[in-house]
Structures are given as structure tokens and as C-alpha cells.
Chains A and B, each alone.
Chain A
Amino acid sequence: MNFFLEVLTGGLLAGVMYSLVAIGFVLIYKASGVFNFAQGSMVLFAALTFVSLLERGVPFWGAFVITLITMAVLAWLIELLVLRHLVNRSPITLFMATLGLSYIVEGLAQAVWGAQVHALDIGIDDEPYEVFGILLSQFDLFAAAIAGGLVVLLGFLFNKTRVGIALRAVADDQLAALAVGIHLQRLWLIVWAVAGFVGLVAGMLWGARVGVQFSLSLIVLKALPVLIIGGFTSIEGAIVGGLIVGASEKLAEVFIGPLIGGGIENWFPYVLAMLFLLVRPYGLFGDKAIERV
């Protein structure tokens, strides 16, 4: 029983890390209807920039701020070169554009900083705590706290500020939002920059755990089922989805894996997401689309 609980909590805490990446997705989807496949590459780009600056002797907060500025510049470039030209095009077109974008950002990150693996130490020990006989990783708890903080912050941004209201208007109907005088380009810039910030936080935490390397951009593939279970438009959904995916994937790997050959972590979240969707086609917290002819 104790072993089960340990696997479960380990999975839940790993799930929080997935949620962090998924939140970046949700932000952009919510504000612009763009299904941003490049979020994983942005995580890689941010983490690689941050760690490379650290290695060149820039102090922690300096590197953090410089990386943030870099991500904002990246957001500005994306808006200027890509999004501006694709206003009001079909969601599939926008998705494919972000697919192309992910190639560019990945290539750029590695062209500038090289392709080797960097170790990242952000000063949090990975010593396990014992709570009611269950071992909990201190690092995972810290990550969970960060994710919680982000959710509160972003919830405030979306629900209480003028920018948040404008973002939701844009998500609802781009052309109508333009017509009532919302500055679409500025909003996109803000939201992509915020997504870059979330990407940086996710990249720092993931990088501290598994090292900063190319595989960071593949986390996007883990974040997809999270997003699909939670629904594309809900930050709470991303958190809940992350917890579900993290926990079930670890449980499946430990308890079902040995029976059918192991390595099922790769596809299990997708099958799980598919099952969820058969019951709720728009995810747990997603907005149901209304169709008119």
C-alpha cells in the first residue's frame, strides 16, 4: 500500500511539471485560438539561453531577466513575422505555422548555444522528505508550489485586468475584437511573451531535473494529452489534466507495464486521453463549441 501511495504521489508531482508546460499552451490558445505546437521549443530555447548565460558567469537573476527579455523579443518577432500575416485564418493553418515555428526555434536555440547537454543547478536540493511514511521529493514540492503560484497569477491576469478581458474578447472573435478597437497585435505580443515566461519557468524546473538538452522540446508531446484531458481553454484543466496524466502514467508503468512488456509511458497518456474524450469530447473543463449551419 505504501509503495502504491509513493508511486501515486511521485506521479502526481511529475504531473505538475507537465501542467507547467501545458499552461503555456492554454494561455496562447485562450487568447488567440492558436494551438501552439512550438511551446516545447520555447521551453528549450528559454532553458538553453538561461543555462548558457549562467555558464558564462552571469548571476542568477541577471540571467533570468536577460532570458525574459530574449523571450519577449522572440514573441515580438513571432508576432511581426508570422502571426500578423495569418489573422483570421483557419485554426489548422495556424497550427501548421506553429509546427514550422517549432523547427525554427529549435534550430535557432541549438545554432546559437550548441547541442550539448547542460547541467542546471537552481539551488534546490533534491532531498526526500518523509510524510506519513511516504517519501516526497523536495524538488517536486517546490515545483508544485511554483505551478500553484503561476496559476494564481495568471488567473488574476485573465480575470481581473483590462488586458485579460481584451484577451478573452480576442479569443472569442478576432475580427469582432478588432472592430471594437482592441489592439490585436499588442495583445498577441503580451500573451506570447507571457507564454515565454511560463516556458522559462517550466524550462528551468525541467532542466534542473533532467538537464538542459534537446529532449526538453519533446515535453510538448507529454503536454498534449494533459491539455486534451483538461480542455484547451482552462488553466485549471491543465493542472487537473497534468495530475491525471502524471499519476496514471506512473501507475500504469509500474503496475501494468511489467505484464505487457514495459515502456508504455509513451502511449498510455494518449490512450487515456482518448478514453476521456469519448466521454467528454471537449475535455474536462473545455468550452463546448456551438455549431450553427
Chain B
Amino acid sequence: MAMLDTAVTATETLTVEKQSRRRRGVRVHFTQFKWLYLLLVPGIVYFLLFRYWPMYGAIIAFKDYVPFLGIADSPWVGFAHFEDFFASPDFPRLLGNTIILALLSLLIAFPLTIIVALLLNEMRLTILKRTTQTLIYVPHFLSWTVVASLTYLLFALDIGPLLQLINGILGTDINFLADPAWFRPIIVLQDIWKNTGWGTIIFLAALAGVDQAQYEAAIIDGAGRFQRVWHITIPSIMPTIIVMLVLQMGQILNTGFEQIYLMTNSLNRSVADVFDTYVYFMGITQGSYSYSTAVGLFKAVVGVVLIFGANWVAKRFNQVGIF
């Protein structure tokens, strides 16, 4: 019916008679799809209210938002908030902290996920493989408050077993939760504990799809275990690795609000502040709505550029991308 209508409209010349027929066509169209359109209404309202209205609201980054004037009537200030932010000493610190955390995750957590997936794939004892998989997926489903709580208990000054163990080994007393030098290692460790297992799922699926005949041919040619992994397994899962890398690159500025917020305290602030927590502290707790929106907008725009850029690079070199 719909196709028929389009065909008709396409060949139609605009005579009065035919225009009225088209109008009737639109009506038929609408009655045909009325239930479907009705079903769409709540969803569309949701997207307008909670996804597109905030995008409109983001223009307060270019205004001096005064709550009682509202978004539309608050005075424009142009790029003043952005200029303030880029000129402030907070900017290089936030950028540095965010990028260092992202790089640590990219250089440690990401390869680790692939290594664990490869180890699981090479495991011949099915029971051990299954058990390990089951155990390492679980932490992904725990909240960051639980992960932070576990960390605080394990490193607590009074009873923390890990604190006592490590201080015993090092011979000096280190208060890991308050020492800025230990903030990043702890964040990376939490990230690894919570997400490595979950991350392996995608690589294990890719590994399961590798052509077995290639291994047989390699065995006949005398290739050892390591050679098979290096020359067959890794190249076979390369497209998956690249796609995941692209996704990671797009996420560089997203350090994860909850994790960082929960691990931040007055003593480690200098290394802990990242864009997301800064937006929270400046916006929600200090009420600088416009300024913190500018910071958030800067972050969002850089994020979009990063994800499209990484995708473009991936496509150029490997013909795979996500878009």
C-alpha cells in the first residue's frame, strides 16, 4: 500500500483533481498506521524531554544562565565561559588527569582483556575455562559503590588486609587511599577487576569464529602453539580488536563519573579531578551552571570528534570501522 502510494505520487502531475486524491491518500496512510504512530508517542515524548531538551539547554554554555529568567531570556555572553575555562589552571590539570587515566586504561586494561581472552581460548580443561569465565564476569554487575566499598575495606587504615600486606612487604606505611601517587594505580586496578572479564566476551566470540582449517594446515606445516596464535589467531581477531579500539578512543574523555567521584577525597584531588567530576563540583555543588555546561559541552564535542576521527583512521588502514 505504501509503495503503491509513493509510486503514484512520483508520476503524478499536480492537477487539482489529483491533489485531492493525494490528500485522501495521506488520510488513508494515517489511518493505516494510526496504532503504530500512537505507540510511538510515549517514546518520542521521552526523547524530546530527556535527550533533546538538554541539547537545547546546552546553549546556556554561551549565556549567563539566571534560573528565574530561564534558558531563553538569560543574556548571551558568547565564548566567555570557554575562554575562562581554557585560561584557568584547572584546564591543563583536568586534561592531563583525564588523558593519563585513559592512556593507562588503553595500554594496560585493553591489552589485558585480549590476553585473558587468548588464555581462555587456549585452555583445554573445559571445566576450568567455564569456571574462570563465570567468576570474572560477575564483578561487572556490581555497582561502583560496591567496588569502592571493597577498596576502602581492603585498604582501610584500621583493618585493611591489603594495606597491611603491602605495607609489610614495602616496610613503610603507605595510606593508599589518601596518597595521590596511588590514586591512578588503584583506579586502573578497580577498572581491571570490574571490567576485564566482561570485555573478554566479545573477543571470545571472535575467537570462536576463527576458521579451524587454518590451524590444521598450520599444524601440518609444523607451526607450534605460539606461532599459531601469532600468525592465525591474532590476525583473525584483528578486525574486532580495531573496532573495540575505535570505541575506546571515542571514550577517552569519559573517565566514568561514579568511579572517580567515589575515589576522590580532599587529599588526592590534584590527580583525581577529571572533566566529569569537575562538571559536577562546579555545577551542582557550586551552582556555576553556565560555566560547567561549557566544560561539559567542550568534552562532548571533543568526544564526537574523537570517535569519528578514530573511525576514519581505522577505515583507512583496515577497511573496518563502526559506521
* A in complex with B: no
